[in-house]
Every structure is written in structure tokens, then in C-alpha cells.
Amino acid sequence: MLVDAFALLEHARRHAYAIGAYDVIDTAMLEGVIQGAERVAAPVILSLAEAHLDLFDEAALMRAVVDLAQRTPLPVAIHYDHGSSLERLERATRLGYTSLMLDASHLVLEENVAATRAAAELAHRAGMPLEGELGYVPGEEGRDAELHPGEIRYTDPKEACDFVAATGCDWLAVSIGTVHGRFRGEPKLDFARLEAVRQAAGVPLVIHGGTGLSDEQFRVLVRSGTNKINYYTALVELAAQAAAGQRRWEAMRSAAVSAIAAEVARTSTLWGAAGQADSACRFAPPLVAVEHVIYHNWTGNEAELQEMQARGIEVLGQLPGVQRIHAGYAERQDAPYRYLWTMTLANPRAMQAFREDPRHQDYANAYFRPWAAERITIDFLHLSNPESL
């Protein structure tokens, strides 16, 4: 089930374990991650990285991600990873993600603080936690080096304390010696720095670039305060190796899913997440979407009605947390209310922010309220478990 992502990481922090945030780029990876987490009863974060969006249709894959996340009994969050701008993050709030990351770590500190603060404000309006990054985690080999160029810059504990206070970010990605992709040499991690950052920052810490670390290094990472570990390269490498021994596509896909599931089960156990699903479900409340419904009549003419509806879909559909929007009309001419708006908001906090958004107010005052004085507005909470009916 989809749960509050902030509470999910807080559960991991309080119980001293780390949740795997596994990047997925297709439904085979999605199925493998869920199967592996279910095998060991582990909370899980399904992650889609902005840098991978050229590999798939984001909206189509997100529909599958949300559907499977809602159907599993595990506590699940859906993370938008390495976001590059407020515009991209705002779009992510409308697609079903439950947590966001802005990666401004390549900027100078003052610019990183300003950008992350703005992103945290946006995320919080949509009822979602925001992950920031302080320090710089570079890439190794091929695509990872292209996406994350430059030299490593370690996270400073004093700066981490000030950064969290100044930005309001909920999670902090840190740089202590890991790299995106696979290491070319022996990883040398600064665990003392990680422990100092944990004590200074006071928020769940995130490690990017886990592929290639030893089991013992992972254990120390978790003991030192890591609560979220991003993991991708090893999954695609293991999937490719498993699929290479097959001749038919369906056999390749099945082998890849099995390999991913095995690695997710292994790493979830290694990081202490195995067996935590029930406890995390009791701690982290389920995410409940809000259906905002307006029944109304119209005193303007037909052209004005069509302009109002088209403008509303354009303006309101772009606001944070608005996942679906429709305008409709009654099938019967004698219906007490002839017209309808229905909008799905991500959660109650997003609904409140929608009401207060100046863009909403400006549209309503200019296009809707003067000609739709006769109306009924009701907000409905979605069932947290539709299968309970």
C-alpha cells in the first residue's frame, strides 16, 4: 500500500535500518523489486530518476507503479529522484510520486540552499517530503559519468546542520565516498564523517551510489545512520546477466525479474529492512487521495461555459498535487445540477494548498464563480484499501 513517505523514513530512522530505494525503468524491474520486498516483508521505495526519463514513457510507467504499489500489502513510497528544477518537481506531484528530490549539489552552497528551500516549500504544499543533497556524488563509467561529471565533494557536518535548518528539507543525501554507477577501484568510505553528519543534521540520511560496496561496508553505513540507500546499477547488471542465457524474450524477462527479486531480497535483509513491513505499516499512515467534486449550474452562455471549462482544465490541471481533472455535464436535461467538476488531489495537504493557491483563486474569480453561484462542493476521501469492499 502507498504510505506517507515522511513517516516511512522516520520509522527506519527510529528503528535503525535502511530502506532500499530501487530505481525502475520498466515493468519487469518494477515486478522484480516488489517480489523481492514481499519475499522478505520489507518496506520499499520505488524510485524513478529524472536522468532515466528518456528511456521510457514516464506517465505510462507511473500508472503501473502506482497500481502495483497500491495492491501490495507492503508499505511503499514512490520517489522522484535527482529532480533538476521546480517545474519538473511540480509535474511529478501530479503523476503519483509520494516524495521528491531536488539535486542542486552541483551549485555553490548559497545557490543550493536557495533552490532546495524553494523545492521543500513546493513539496510540502503537495504533502510530500523533500530530499536535498549536500556535497557532490560523482559518476563512474559511461552514462553515470556523463550524468554526474566532476570530482567528489564531501559533505561537511557543520554545513549539513545549517543546510537542513535553512532549507527545511526532510531527508539529506550525503557524500562520503560513494559514486553513481560501479566503482573502478576499492571503495573508501568516510564513516566518521557520516556519523558526524547524522548527529548534526538530525534527519534521515540517504546514500547514493551503493553498487560495489561490500556487505560489511553496508552494515557500517546503516549503523552510522543511513536510512535510505539508492540502488540501481547492480540491479540492471544482474538482470542483464540472467537474461543473457536465454533465447526467447519471455524467458529473458522472467530471468531478469527473478534476478532483481533475489537482489532486492538480499539487500533488504542486509540493510535491516526485512521483517519491518508490518511495524512500518502501523507507524506510517496510508496515503489517501481526495476527490474534489463540484456540482453547479451556469448562467452564462454556451461559449462562456466552454471557455470556462477549457481554461479550468488548463490552469487547475497544472497545480501541484492535481492528479486528474475532468469537467462534465448531466445526461438528463432536468437534473438539478447540470454541470460537474471532479479533481483528484494527491492527499489532504495538497487539497488545502489547492484551495489557497493564487492561480486557483484568480481563475475561479474570473471564470467560474460569477456565473456558477448555484453550486455544491464536496471533498471525498478515497478508500485507503479499495479491495476491502
| DSSP letters for 152-220 | -BPPPHHHHHHHHHHH--SEEEE-SS--BS--SS-----HHHHHHHHHHH-S-EEE---TT--HHHHHH
Collect all residues with Cβ–Cβ distance below 8 Å to 366 and sequence separation of at least 6: none
Quote the CA–CA distance of 99 and 118 in Å, as a whole number.
15
Query: Which CATH code is given to the segment(s) 5-283?
Result: 3.20.20.70
Identify the pLDDT of residue 143: 41
What's the rounded Cα separation, in Å, for the pair 235 and 303?
54
Contact in structure between 379 and 290 (CB atoms under 8 Å) = yes
Q: What is the pLDDT of residue 141?
A: 44
Report domain extents, the chain.
Answer: 5-283, 290-388
Which whole-number Å values give the CA distances from 371 to 2, 300, 367, in the listed order? 39, 6, 8
Helix (H, G, I), strand (E, B) or coil at 382: coil
Percent of the chain with pLDDT over 90: 87
- Residue 145: pLDDT above 50? no
Please give the pLDDT value at position 184: 54
Q: What pLDDT is recorded for position 135?
A: 87
Q: For a pLDDT cut of 70, what percent of the chain falls above it?
A: 93
What pLDDT was estimated at residue 137? 73
Calpha distance 280→139 (Å, rounded)? 33
* Arithmetic mean of pLDDT over the chain: 92
> What phi and psi, each to the nearest 5 degrees, are found at residue 319?
-80, 150
* pLDDT at res. 111: 97
Q: How far apart are CA 20 and CA 202, in angstroms?
A: 20
* Whether the predicted pLDDT of 150 surpasses 60: no
CATH number of 290-388: 3.30.70.100
What pLDDT is attached to residue 181?
53
Element (H, E) at 81: strand 76-83
In which residue are the cell numbers 528511456 written?
A: 55
Are 339 and 330 in contact, with CB atoms under 8 Å apart? yes
pLDDT value at 159 more than 90: yes
* C-alpha to C-alpha distance for 166 and 160, rounded to whole angstroms: 10
CA distance 328 to 139: 49
Write the CB contacts of 261 (distance below 8 Å, at least 6 apart in sequence). Answer: 31, 32, 33, 35, 36, 39
With bands split at pLDDT 50, 70 and 90, how would you rate the model's confidence at 148?
Answer: very low
| Greater pLDDT, 349 or 152 | 349
Q: What is the mean pLDDT of residues 239-262?
A: 96
pLDDT over threshold 90, residue 187: no
DSSP helix/strand/coil, 234: helix
pLDDT score of 183 more than 60: no
In this predicted structure, the answer to whether residue 139 has a pLDDT above a threshold of 50 is no
Alpha helix (H) ranges present in the chain? Answer: 5-14, 27-40, 58-71, 86-93, 109-125, 142-147, 157-167, 191-201, 215-223, 233-244, 249-270, 277-283, 302-316, 348-356, 358-363
Task: Give the pLDDT of residue 239.
Answer: 97
Of 83-97, 106-120, 146-160, 262-276, the one with minimum mean pLDDT is 146-160
Mean pLDDT of all residues in 24-38: 98
pLDDT of the residue at 305: 97
Residues recognised as catalytic: 81
Query: Is the model more confident about 388 or about 250?
Result: 250
Residue 323 has pLDDT above 50, yes or no: yes
Residues linked to residue 278 through DSSP beta bridges, in sequence order:
none
Query: Looking at residue 138, what is its pLDDT?
Result: 61
pLDDT band at 245 (very low <50, low <70, confident <90, very high): confident
pLDDT bracket for residue 388 (50, 70, 90): very low
Under 8 Å between Cβ of 167 and 114: no
How confident is residue 149, by pLDDT bands cut at 50, 70 and 90?
very low
Q: Do the domains spanning 5-283 and 290-388 agree at the CATH topology level?
A: no
Q: How confident is the model at residue 151 (pLDDT cuts 50, 70, 90)?
A: low
**Closest of 241, 223, 236, 224 to residue 264, by C-alpha:** 236
Mean pLDDT of 334-360: 97
**Rounded mean pLDDT, 110-116:** 97
Q: What pLDDT was estimated at residue 94?
A: 96
Task: Determine the pLDDT at residue 153.
Answer: 82
DSSP 329: E
